[in-house]
Amino acid sequence: MQEKEKKTGETPTRRIDFKISRFKPGLIDPPRFQTYSLEVNAAMTVLDCLEQIRLTQDPGLVYRHSCHHSACGTCACIVNGSERLACLTRVWDLESQIVILEPLRGFVRIADLAVDMTGFYREIRAEWELLRPAEPLAGAADGGGALRLENCIECGACVSVCPAATAQPAFMGPAALAAVHNQMPKTSADERAALLARAAAPDGEPMCERALACSRVCPTGVYPARHIADLRRLRKA
């Protein structure tokens, strides 16, 4: 990176350009890139910068986030071409003076960096034992009522990077297949057979192109490709 640090009080900063893909149905349509410039210190994450830009330059910028510590999965987006959690990605670590931000692929886009995650949950069934209640939501009468997967933060990065999932929207996708495989040891023999049959359907594991990209981008070590390989072995056994 071209060193162009300047002192702001005690904290050195670098001026970074954020080239953000914008989209608002009917308003910024078709999508286009908009560039925002910001002084960034070594501690700032991509999410910190999005918040600064929204606060100081463009209150209309849309992105998702909640926890700020890689637990909720909502801030996943494409940073300089790779699926990442915005809250985990320190801007200086990218070693680039331009940071290009795009929404995840393979999901319907709502606005700017926000995508509709409905499709992600299509195959996740409420009675599965690997589901746990979400952390209570402040102010929600029922505590929020949402269910979370035990070991996956539902960020969607694996779906976005998967060539099969982005080309074929019917594909169950890496996270759902990993969830199916995780559920299998926790259930009856009949249910296991039903889960294996679901995973082996044409829109399931057979659609996987073995790109292995899902395991590379997963921020929580789910390794979906390994689960898919195990499902394939079980189908052929």
155 binds ligand SF4 (CB under 6 A): yes
- Among 24, 68, 192, 216, indicate the residue that binds ligand FES (CB under 6 A): 68
Contacting range for ligand SF4; rule: CB under 6 A; set: 19-27, 196-204, 205-213, 215-223: 215-223
224 binds ligand SF4 (CB under 6 A): yes
- Among 41, 123, 220, 230, indicate the residue that binds ligand SF4 (CB under 6 A): 220
134 binds ligand FES (CB under 6 A): no
> Max CA-CA distance within the chain?
66
74 binds ligand FES (CB under 6 A): yes
Contact partner at residue 154 from ligand SF4, ligand FES, none, CB < 5 to 8 Å by partner kind? ligand SF4
Instruction: Give the closest residue to 112 by CA, choosing from 38, 59, 165.
Output: 59
Give contact residues for ligand FES (rule: CB under 6 A).
65-68, 70-75, 85, 87
